Amino acid sequence: MPYLINKDIKHLIKANSIRTSSSFNKNQIQPASLDLSLSSKCYRIKASFIPNKQPISKIINELSLVQIDLNKEYLFEKNCIYLCELNESLNLPKKIKGKANPKSTTGRLDIFTRLITEYGTEYDEIDHGYSGKLYLEIIPQSFSIKLKKNISLNQVRFFEGSAENIQKKLKISVSIQKGKVSAYRAKKITSSINLNKINHYLKEKYWEEIVPKSDSFIIEKDEFYILRSKESIVIPENTAAELEPFKDSFGNFRVHYAGFFDPGFGLLKGVPAVLELRAYDTPFMIKDGQLVGQLNYYQIEKNSKNIYGKKIKSNYYNQRLKLAKQFK
């Protein structure tokens, strides 16, 4: 299932297969993905949903509690459900499909997002030849957040054809070191976070450092943690990768909201993946080296002029155990 790279995405935009109600920002086009952006139209809704055979406009009429104008900054409250229409819409060729996921910053702030298409039957999946609007469900889980029109919370990758072609697989495990900061846990009571404010917030007001006394610690039920992988990740220029979480039999937790790696990630010397982790049902002891997922590598067309890293001002190109870019 070949990934389309930035030049292919630009071609889709030029052909009017990807449209916008605003205007495209050049920074939206990543090496092998497109950042999607919020329009001014948003709603607080009663419940999550999958459209199936219904138009989203009808569902909004049934579930909407209040309409929100994102031309002005708005506070999205923790644990409330919102649905926002995106600036971008699609009229894809029949051989092209798409798949969405949260951006890295979105995952590190514990903002749960899911892309929804008209009459769609799955979250985050865009059918071959899809034509219509795109919507984003947004649920802040650890922090209340302030958003405004044109902010990007998720991204989409496009594929041609349907045959999957995994080139390589790498098992991913957690790094926990005795006596060292090995994780951050989100605090329960904090002020809100404005996503437009970069390198602004003091991390100690929002996060608790986890310094284990051994090579393990207990993750508590319904708590949110930031950890790092034991492995250093290198994504070559002719490759993109996705982190596929292991099934529940590997542990009762959810790992990694934003599991896509652009070509060039960690290219110089390799960097760890940052893992977003939330336990469910019961507390769970997690140990150094515990497997949490598998990184699948996919062949793409090489494009050394546009790869993840300092040159295109990527936020996490030199990360270790790194929080979202809003923290200093």
Predicted pLDDT at 1? 52
Q: How many CB atoms lie within 10 A of CB 161?
A: 12
Q: Strands 193-194 and 145-147: what pairing? A: parallel
CA distances from 190 to 73, 201, 205, 279, 315 (A): 19, 11, 7, 20, 24
Q: Would the pLDDT of 249 be above 50?
A: no
User: In order of start, what are the domains of the chain with their CATH numbers?
Assistant: 6-160 (2.70.40.10), 166-312 (2.70.40.10)
Q: What local confidence, expressed as pLDDT, does residue 252 receive? A: 57
Tokens of 45: 């809704």
C-alpha distances out from residue 143 to 18, 103, 140, 191, 201, Å: 32, 17, 6, 8, 13
Q: In whole angstroms, what is the distance from residue 242 CA to residue 265 CA?
A: 12
Q: What is the mean pLDDT of residues 247-258?
A: 58
The pLDDT value given to residue 309: 55
For residues 4 and 10, what is the distance between their CA atoms, to the nearest angstrom? 10
Q: In this predicted structure, what is the pLDDT of residue 264? A: 85
Q: Specify the DSSP class assigned to residue 301.
A: -
Per-residue pLDDT tens over the stretch 2-51: 789 999 999 999 999 999 998 898 889 988 899 999 999 999 999 999 99
Residue 238's pLDDT is what?
Answer: 87
Confidence of residue 52 (pLDDT cuts 50, 70, 90): very high
Hey, is 144 helix, strand or coil? coil
Q: Which of 143, 167, 135 is nearest to 242 (CA)?
A: 167
Average pLDDT over residues 313-328: 77
Give the number of residues written for the chain: 328
* Triad 215, 220, 223: Cα angle to 5°: 115
- Which residues lie across from 27 on neighbouring strands? none
Which amino acid belongs to residue 1?
M
| pLDDT (0 to 100) of residue 209 | 97
Q: Do 323 and 181 meet the contact criterion of CB atoms below 8 Å apart?
A: no
User: Residue 266: is its pLDDT beyond 90?
Assistant: no
| C-alpha Rg value of the chain to the nearest Å | 19
Predicted pLDDT of residue 265: 85
Largest CA distance in the chain: 58
Which strand (E) or helix (H) includes residue 57? helix 56-63
Indicate the SS3 state at residue 44: strand
Two tokens, residue 218 = 């207990």
pLDDT at site 45: 98
Q: What is the pTM of this model?
A: 0.92
pLDDT digits (tens, 9 = 90+) for 142-187: 999 999 999 999 999 999 876 567 888 999 999 999 999 999 999 9
193 against 300, higher pLDDT = 193
For residue 192, what are the CA distances in angstroms to 46, 74, 150, 187, 246?
A: 22, 11, 19, 12, 32
